[in-house]
Structure 1
Amino acid sequence: MAEFKDQVAIVTGAGQGIGYEMCRQLVMQGAAVILNDMDAALAQQAAKDIDADGQRCIAVAGNASEQAVIQQMVQTAVDRFGRLDIVIGNAGITLFGDFFTYPETDFYKVLQVNLGSNFFLAQAAARQMKTQGEGGSILFTSSVTGHQAHKNLAVYGMTKAALEMLAKSLVVELSPFRINVNAVAPGATLTERTSSEKDYEKIWSRLTPMGRPASVADIAAAALFLVSRPARHITGQSLVVDGGWTSVSPSPYEA
């Protein structure tokens, strides 16, 4: 499998879970990857687990919403591998909270990470891709909560819906340079974090029409399709990967 041979990618928020699996599959299919996570030890270990030789998976730790970290990721891709072809903005945080008491500090933190990191990473990456003159692919990780209301997640859901609008908006800006931009919207997914929640798999297996929550491989497979060369004519779109949950939308609070 060499779908991504000679291509260079950046994936943020990739120390574990969905982002890690995206990196792993990209490397397996021939890409070189800059793996980002806020946790430096987690990023280094993830890169080592994916590529023990350290030749095709390079860790760049730091807050993906900070300009210095964004520039470091892009520059590392160019310095180590000579180019940048794919960017997956997967970094994000979830801060639950009741609307009536939601604190201002949490509001702006969620916006900074979920929106700021993706907007400015796309900006920096698109500049590099434009200079290269060979096109490229940008993908944002959205969520089903950007499509369906979810209790105590008003701010998070708002940012995810905004990411999908950003993907649409950038079609106007980036299409002349053969850069496509899309979003993937996972539903309930088994990760290190969610697997630790009480009865998570049991509840979401009952609520999901396909009978189980997604695996990280399910989400990564959809993401890699959207950044692959065969998908370059797909742009401004959002692909929901949720086993059919948004078609019926039962709440976990009623399970």
Structure 2
Amino acid sequence: MDFSNKTAIVTGAGQGIGFEICRQLAKYGATVLLNDIDEKLANSAAETIRLENGNCIAVPGDSGDLNFVNSLVQQAVSATGHLDIAIANAGITLFGDFLSYPAGSLYKVLHVNIGGTFFLAQAASRQMKLQGKGGTLLFTSSVTGHQAHKDLAAYSMTKAALEMLAKNLVVEVSQYGITVNTVAPGATLTERTESDPGYASTWSRITPMGKPASVDDIAHAALFLVSDHARHITGQTLLVDGGWTATSPSPY
């Protein structure tokens, strides 16, 4: 894949899937604005990519905040003169029993998962329309947007909503040459999930392919969807789950 002369924004990218997407985009020539709400994490991640000779700019901040999202797009344009790819990867998971789920947790999940994605897509689309050369949007969903998981009513609701947002934006932005798709990871080994001692063994047992995904697996799918190879694909969701949604056994 070739992303030379492309400028990309990736939110929630201090570690895990988002970081690997940034790393791969930079590896193949893109200038990447790496966002994370944790300033130290964002700076460290961007420095790691630069040490690998990638062009990466750390932009710490709250991706759910409208003013910050608008400034993020402007920073991309200031850095390179254009924006070509916007990947709304930031998201939070707050587990909780539905019958006692607190309002504060719900609104926090909505703020980041839906608000952050919606407003990044909006700001990026405005810029891409202005440029007149098209562009691509990508949202990070989840298999929980397709199959029920205990204690994840709020989170799974937001992920299903992102897939509908991608589909709906087809009628809003296709006329400007903008594609919009969603990648939906299944169980994935990241810094967070690897801290759970039973995670890998449980998901290896219940995933048809015999193991959870690596961050590479998700990043490669994401790069395809934002590449020129996918220029006629829009409004779609690509599940990367080793076949889990075909059988859907519970991890509990």
Q: Which residue of 2 aligns with 1:230?
A: 229
- Residue by residue over 1:119-150, the C-alpha shift from the partner in whole angstroms, topping out at 9 and shown as x without a partner, is 00000000000000000000000000000000
- Residue by residue over 1:147-166, the C-alpha shift from the partner in whole angstroms, topping out at 9 and shown as x without a partner, is 00000001100000000000
Q: Which residue of 2 aligns with 1:93?
A: 92
Letter of the structure 1 residue corresponding to residue 67 of structure 2: A
Aligned residues: 252
Paired residues of 1:185 and 1:240 also in contact (CA < 8 A): yes
SS at match of 1:252: coil
Q: Which residue of 1 aligns with 2:207?
A: 208
- Change over 3 Å in CA distance of 1:16–1:55 after alignment to 2: closer
Q: Which residue of 1 aligns with 2:184?
A: 185
Q: More displaced, 47-56 or 148-157?
A: 47-56
In the TM superposition, 1:75-224 aligns within 5 A as 75-224=74-223
Residues in 2 aligned to 1:245 and 1:108: alpha-carbon distance in whole angstroms: 29
Moved over 4 A (4+): none
Unaligned runs of 5+ residues in structure 2 are none
Residues in 2 aligned to 1:195 and 1:59: alpha-carbon distance in whole angstroms: 25
- Residue by residue over 1:85-127, the C-alpha shift from the partner in whole angstroms, topping out at 9 and shown as x without a partner, is 0010000000000010000110111011000000000000000
SS at match of 1:15: coil
Residues in 2 aligned to 1:127 and 1:252: alpha-carbon distance in whole angstroms: 42
Matched, 1:44 2:54: no
SS at match of 1:94: coil
- Residue by residue over 1:185-206, the C-alpha shift from the partner in whole angstroms, topping out at 9 and shown as x without a partner, is 0000000000001211011000
Q: More displaced, 132-141 or 72-81?
A: 72-81
> Which TM-score applies when normalising by structure 1?
0.97
Q: Which residue of 2 aligns with 1:61?
A: 60
- Residue by residue over 1:159-189, the C-alpha shift from the partner in whole angstroms, topping out at 9 and shown as x without a partner, is 0000000000000000000100000000000
Paired residues of 2:85 and 2:226 also in contact (CA < 8 A): yes
Q: More displaced, 236-245 or 62-71?
A: 62-71
Letter of the structure 1 residue corresponding to residue 191 of structure 2: E
Paired residues of 1:47 and 1:54 also in contact (CA < 8 A): no
Q: Which residue of 1 aligns with 2:251?
A: 252
Residues in 2 aligned to 1:235 and 1:117: alpha-carbon distance in whole angstroms: 20
SS at match of 2:239: strand
Residues in 2 aligned to 1:22 and 1:53: alpha-carbon distance in whole angstroms: 14
- Residue by residue over 1:53-100, the C-alpha shift from the partner in whole angstroms, topping out at 9 and shown as x without a partner, is 997200000110102221221111101111000010000000000010
Residues in 1 aligned to 2:82 and 2:54: alpha-carbon distance in whole angstroms: 15
SS at match of 1:109: helix
Letter of the structure 1 residue corresponding to residue 226 of structure 2: V
Unaligned runs of 5+ residues in structure 1 are none
Paired residues of 1:48 and 1:54 also in contact (CA < 8 A): no
Residues in 2 aligned to 1:54 and 1:132: alpha-carbon distance in whole angstroms: 28
Letter of the structure 1 residue corresponding to residue 65 of structure 2: E
SS at match of 1:51: helix
Q: More displaced, 48-57 or 216-225?
A: 48-57
